[in-house]
Amino acid sequence: MNTTINPMGQSLDRVDGLLKVTGQARYAGEFPEAGLLHGSVVSSTIAKGRVMSIDASAALKVPGVLMVLDHTNRPRLASYDEDYDDADSAEGSPFRPLYNDRVLYSGQPLALVVADTLELARYAGSLVRIEYACEPHETDLLAEQDAAHTAPAETPKPRGHFQTELAGAALSVDVRYSTPNEHHNPMEPHASTVLYQANGSLQIHDKTQGTQNCQSYIQKVFGLEKDQVRILAAFVGGAFGSGLRPQYQLPLAVMAALELRRSVRVTLTRQQMFTFGYRPRTLQRLRLGAAANGRLVAVGHDAVGQTSRFEDFTEHVVEWSGMLYKCDNVELTYKLASLDVYTPLDMRAPGAALGVNGLECAMDELACALAIDPVQLRLVNFAERNGNEDKPYSSKELRACYAQGAERFGWGQRNPEPRSMRKGRQLIGWGMAGGVWESMQMKASAKAKIDAEGKLTVSSATTDIGTGTYTVMTQIAAASAGVALENVTFVLGDSSLPTAPLQGGSFTVSSVGTAVQQACEALRGKLLNAAREINPGFASATVEQLTVDGGYMRFGEQQLALADIVRAVPGQQLEVQVDAEPDEEKRKPYATATHSAVFVEVQVDEDLGSVRVTRVVSAVAAGRVVNPKLARSQILGGVVWGVGMALHEEAQTDHNLGRTMNHSLAEYHIPVNADVGSIDVIFVEEKDDIVNALGSKGVGEIGICGVAAAVANAVYHATGKRIRDFPITLDKLI
């Protein structure tokens, strides 16, 4: 198609921006309903044991309280007492709220109080008395690391002769790093508003990254037909992975709604946001062996992560060490320690945010030991192929990321000697790291419909968790169909729409975007067929010969308005739905990944040990960037989060109680405006015809990868102190 006006690649404002800034965008816990009831969750105060009794008598005496549900009086459900999975489930048996008298972790939901108002429900919840039979618990990964078992996930097999080459290396480093539990903490808490319909069906507004995943889950648990459950998530106030699995407020709200035959809303408190999935604590060991010139001869990466007693949560922590650099002798191991905690959950760049952090810190330590510039060390070990898969990359502009990032940052002016750069009492440190994330495409469907006014509506059941999906899909649709942006509407966040995968993993644009593109191209074909009936001048035209833009179709001297074409067809609308899948034959010979290079400047107060990140340059190679403005925002968010991982973020557990202590945004520290300095984002030009039809790799995850390591490396350069226990707080520096 020849298109003279192409919105692809333009930095457009969000199409949903006005609704958000004027408060017209409604979130899961904001939908009004006459007679709506409110539920409040009563959580366990012990980490392990049994519930001996639950006394709800005082709560039930409160005027306006309708019900207190617990394991003794909940309805028997269709598949609640059998194993079932959701689309993001881990190995094992998923958690079932109010299942039985077992307490599996501190904060577990043990009862639901339902009342006329939220205030009444929460007050009545405080009156519920629970007696326990406590059992010894263990929530400390350090105490259980020796009992860790091999994770069920597939870890790349060892290659070469790691131990032999490590022993014979001219120089080697053997270092250990630890990272803490981290919680997603999106601005919008998890909530479910279940609107009970007269026919017994349910319309549910839920905070989720996958409407159809939640629909399937509710169907299976409650034994309902598909057309009895509709999940809506038009707007999501951040999720970062916390909405990939249905959280426990959803089945509790549905349970109450079905029991009372009333509409019910359950919203979790900020404290309860710490009682489900999180980024798991890890203990990592990196062993790197190198020749005198810096060439890696051995790479070993061992990781131990924590999981629950009832599921084995796995993520790709160590794989990145077998692919980011060229090395023929690699050994990777990944184990899990089972604790009396809730199951961890995917969290922005799951696995990579942790594993790349360890690898890139170790690479910096190796560079210092070899007295080689950190950028040069990475160039010496540049990998043209993914060593884990032994495949060439479909595209990889990481060298350009190093070069452009270093130039923009001024890396050439760096004095490599630690503590050699200062500004008054502030020690200046410069550090860098590389980043990598996988580029995936999933099956997805989309529908495109054009009406007699020339208005195009495209739909898919995907969600928009704040990334800009509404806008990017509108751009793709407008470009593919040749319709002006203002005449395009993209509809999402509804389980009744064409099938879409969970929104996560940076694959929404590549998956849903490809489906949108193909649907609009198929619609263009239908328009051409209809145009041939109206104007014989189009009889010999092929789709490739057409120029379609601004709502007009042109072929030579012939021109027709798309609206006029549609008016001439029966029903005065044209519609097409497509199912898009990855081109496996095209992709199969290649490895696909997004890459980045991050450069960081820190200032460390010599007396106080306080650290401030003053400058960051992030250079990213992510294929085709559909909307640079929105993509830049994704990288900015990832960088800020990486700064938090390095310096602030840590869920602190009182292991005597097995409970998170700092379960509020006042005490769970994340970067605020004063902590964020200048962030410069560079999108390195990268063309990729293999990864997917759009050539887009996604940017949601890559922004955080390597950032914490770059900060840690900069702190070492500033102070000469290597802190390997994250986050790097002033008490560890003084």
Residue 624 lies in a domain: yes
| Pair (425, 497) in one structural domain | no
For 601-654, the pLDDT digits (tens) are 999 999 999 999 999 999 999 999 999 999 999 999 999 999 999 999 999 999
pLDDT at 3 over 80: no
Domain boundary among the residues 551, 581, 611 is at 581
| Pair (227, 362) in one structural domain | no
Into how many domains does the chain fold?
3
pLDDT at 81 over 90: no
| Pair (383, 472) in one structural domain | no
Helix ranges (H only) for 81-204 are: 118-125, 141-144, 162-167
User: What is the band of 1 on the pLDDT scale with cuts at 50, 70, 90?
Assistant: very low
Question: Is 575 labeled as catalytic in the residue annotation?
Answer: no
Residue 146 lies in a domain: no
Domain boundary among the residues 516, 546, 581 is at 581
| Pair (561, 596) in one structural domain | no
Looking up tokens 């990145």 gives 320
CA 368 to chain CA centroid, Å, is 33
For 384-423, the pLDDT digits (tens) are 999 999 999 999 999 999 999 999 999 999 999 999 999 9
Q: Hey, is 116 helix, strand or coil?
A: coil
For 171-204, the pLDDT digits (tens) are 999 999 999 999 999 999 999 999 999 999 999 9
For 481-519, the pLDDT digits (tens) are 999 999 999 999 999 999 999 999 999 999 999 999 999
> Which residues have CB under 8 Å from 390's CB, separation 6+?
none
For 116-135, the pLDDT digits (tens) are 999 999 999 999 999 999 99
Region at 374 (left for phi over 0; alpha for psi -120 to 50; beta for the rest)? alpha
pLDDT at 79 over 80: no
Residue 87 lies in a domain: yes
| Pair (357, 290) in one structural domain | yes
| Pair (62, 199) in one structural domain | yes
Residue 5 lies in a domain: no
| Pair (299, 394) in one structural domain | yes
User: What is the band of 248 on the pLDDT scale with cuts at 50, 70, 90?
Assistant: very high
Give the mean model confidence (pLDDT) for residues 470-484: 96
pLDDT at 80 over 70: no
Cα torsion angle, 240, 695, 450, 496, sign? negative
Give me the DSSP letters along 28-42.
Answer: TT----TT-EEEEEE
For 29-63, the pLDDT digits (tens) are 999 999 999 999 999 999 999 999 999 999 999 99
For 415-452, the pLDDT digits (tens) are 999 999 999 999 999 999 999 999 999 999 999 999 99
Secondary structure element (H or E) that encloses residue 256, with its range: helix 249-260
| Pair (465, 499) in one structural domain | yes
- pLDDT score, position 2: 43
Q: For the chain, what is the radius of gyration of the CA atoms?
A: 27
How many CA within 13 A on the CB side of residue 540?
Answer: 3
Q: What is the mean pLDDT of the chain?
A: 96
Residue 144 lies in a domain: no
| Pair (245, 260) in one structural domain | yes
Q: What is the CATH number of the domain that holds 317?
A: 3.30.365.10
Residue 358 lies in a domain: yes
User: What is the band of 90 on the pLDDT scale with cuts at 50, 70, 90?
Assistant: confident
| Pair (435, 470) in one structural domain | no
- pLDDT score, position 83: 58
DSSP letter assigned to residue 262: S
Domain boundary among the residues 269, 293, 314 is at 269
- Among residues 165, 311, 650, 701, the one annotated as catalytic is 701
| Pair (310, 417) in one structural domain | yes
- What's the residue count for the chain? 734
Cα torsion angle, 620, 208, 23, 487, sign? positive
User: 178 near 284, Cβ under 8 Å?
Assistant: yes
| Pair (421, 305) in one structural domain | yes
Domain containing 104: what range? 37-136+186-269
